[in-house]
Amino acid sequence: MATTKVSALSAKTSLAGSEELLINDSGTSKKVTATNLLAGVSVADGSISTAKIADDAVTEAKLANAINTAIAANTAKTSNATHTGDVTGATELTIASGAVETGMIADDAVTADKLANSINTEIAANTAKVTNATHTGDVTGATALTIAADAVTGAKIADDSIDSEHIVDGSIDTAHIGDDQVTAAKLANSINTDIATGVTANTTANAALPKAGGTMTGDLILGDNVKLEVGSASGGDLQIYHDGSNSYISDAGTGILVIRSDTSFQIQAANGEAYFNAVKDAETVLYHNDVRKFETTANGVTVTGTAVATTDTDTSNTGSVTLDFGANQNFVLTLTGNVTLANPSTEQVGQSGFITFIQDGTGSRTVSLGTDYETAGGAGLTLTSTASATDIVPYVVVASGRILLGTPQLAFA
C-alpha cells in the first residue's frame, strides 16, 4: 500500500468502508483505522429524522429514562387496555364495529349531534305524542303508561295471546260459551259420572220435558224440603213438600184451598184405610179405625156410637160465675159459696145441655140468675140445701140472650 503524507491527502465526504491511515511518528509508522466517520462533519440538534434511524437501531439505552418508565408501565397493553387519560398517537386508535355496548356509554353522553339524522327525524316526528301514539316496540319510561278504560278493542289483541291466567275466575258465563263447545273432557268428573249412570244411550235432548209442557213417562222425585211450588206468589201460592218427617200441602198464597172431585173425595191411610169420604150429591162420612162413626143424611146426621160433648168440671165456685158456652156443652159446678150466674156472651142458638150443682161439705149454698137465664113462671132456682147434695138443671138456648132452664132434678143419691 502506498504511503502518502497527511498534508497531501484530500478531504473525504464519505467512507465506503474501513480505511487505514499510516502516520510516521519520528520514523515510526503508525496505523489508524477509520470506520464510517465523516471527517470534519457536525450534526445539528433535531436534524436526525425517523427515516435516518435504521430499523431496530434505537435501544433502551438510547431512550430517556422517563420514556423507559412509561414503556414499562404499559408493556403488552395491546388489547383490552384500560386508559384513564387521553390516548394519542401518530394514528388514531381503531374501535371494532359493535364493540361499544350501552354500559360503556356514560349517562347523558349521547347528544342529539351524536345521533344519526334518521333517529333525530323520528324523535321530532313523535315529540309530544302523549295520546294516540303508535309504537312498534316496547314502551318504557319513568312511570307506566296509562291505557284508557275500554280503549283496547279485540282488534288490538294479538291472536292466541290471552291465556287462562288473564281470565278472571268465574267470568265466563253461559252466553259466552259457544254451542257444542263443552265436551266431556271439559266437564267435572262428578258430572260425567252422573251422565254415565243416569242417562241411557237413547236419551236425547228432544226427549226432555219442554217448558211449554208435555207428558212425563218417569217419576218426579224431589228431595226433603224441596218444594213443588205452584202460583205466582213469592215461594208459590201452593206448596207440596216433605220435610223429612212430615208431608205438607200448604195453601200459602191468596184465596182458599179448593179440592174438587166429580164423583167422590176420599182421604185414606197409606194402606187404604178410610179416614174421610165425601160423595157427590150424597153422604159425607167420618171414620174411626176404618169404621163409620158420623155421617150426613138427607134428614140430618147419623152417629154410630156415642157423642160426648165437652164438660166443664169446676170444683170451686162462689160469687159471680160466667159459663163459657163456646167451649163447653155441659157444666159440673161445686158450690163453695153463694153463686150468681152472670150473663154469658158465648151461647149458640140451639145449643142444649145440663148444669149440675153440687153442694160442698157445708151445704145451703144458693144460686141466683142473671137476666139471660129464664125459668118456668120466673120462679128462679131452688136447690137442695143438704151438704154434698147433687141437683141437675137442663137448659136450651132459644135465642141470643135467652137461655131456658128446665125444672131441677133434685137430690141425686
In angstroms, rounded to a whole number, what is the distance separating the alpha carbons of residues 289 and 275? 8
Neighbours of 317 (CB within 10 A): 21
**316 plus 401 within the same structural domain:** yes
Domain holding 369: CATH number?
2.60.120
Q: Is residue 363 included in any domain, yes or no?
A: yes
pTM equals 0.42
**331 plus 390 within the same structural domain:** yes
In angstroms, rounded to a whole number, what is the distance separating the alpha carbons of residues 34 and 21? 8
SS (H, E, C) 350-378: CCEEEEEEEECCCCCCCEEECCCEECHHH
Q: Is residue 177 included in any domain, yes or no?
A: no
Of 180 and 318, the structure prediction assigns the larger pLDDT to 318
Owning domain of residue 242: 222-258
**340 plus 407 within the same structural domain:** yes
Cell of 133: 301514539
Of 173 and 199, the structure prediction assigns the larger pLDDT to 173
Length of the chain: 413
**315 plus 296 within the same structural domain:** no
In angstroms, rounded to a whole number, what is the distance separating the alpha carbons of residues 45 and 323? 160
CA distances from 73 to 23, 58, 64, 69, 339 (A): 53, 19, 15, 6, 142
Q: Is residue 91 included in any domain, yes or no?
A: no
What is the DSSP secondary-structure string of 20-31? EEEEEETTEEEE
Q: Is residue 289 included in any domain, yes or no?
A: yes
Give me the residues paired with residue 404 across strands.
Answer: 374, 396
Amino acid at 235: G
SS3 251: strand
Amino acid at 65: N
Average pLDDT over residues 218-224: 90
Of 135 and 394, the structure prediction assigns the larger pLDDT to 394
Structural domains of the chain, count: 3
Q: Is residue 65 included in any domain, yes or no?
A: no
CA distances from 182 to 192, 214, 307 (A): 12, 28, 70
Cell of 38: 465523516
Q: Is residue 299 included in any domain, yes or no?
A: yes
Confidence of residue 201 (pLDDT cuts 50, 70, 90): very low
Share of residues in the chain with pLDDT > 90 (%): 37
**324 plus 397 within the same structural domain:** yes
**290 plus 351 within the same structural domain:** no
Chain position carrying cell 213417562? 217
CA-closest candidate to residue 40, choices 14, 20, 19: 14
**351 plus 284 within the same structural domain:** no
Of 312 and 186, the structure prediction assigns the larger pLDDT to 312
**386 plus 360 within the same structural domain:** yes
Residue 10 near residue 40 (C-beta atoms within 8 A): no
Confidence of residue 21 (pLDDT cuts 50, 70, 90): low
Amino acid at 327: A
- Supply the pLDDT for residue 89: 60
Q: Is residue 273 included in any domain, yes or no?
A: yes
290-306 pLDDT tens trace: 999 999 999 899 999 88
**251 plus 268 within the same structural domain:** no
CA distances from 159 to 147, 155, 156, 167, 235 (A): 20, 9, 9, 15, 48
**373 plus 346 within the same structural domain:** yes
In angstroms, rounded to a whole number, what is the distance separating the alpha carbons of residues 321 and 187? 78
Q: Is residue 112 included in any domain, yes or no?
A: no
Average pLDDT over residues 264-269: 91
SS (H, E, C) 341-357: ECCCCCCCCCCEEEEEE
CA-closest candidate to residue 296, choices 273, 278, 308, 274: 278
**376 plus 284 within the same structural domain:** no
**369 plus 403 within the same structural domain:** yes
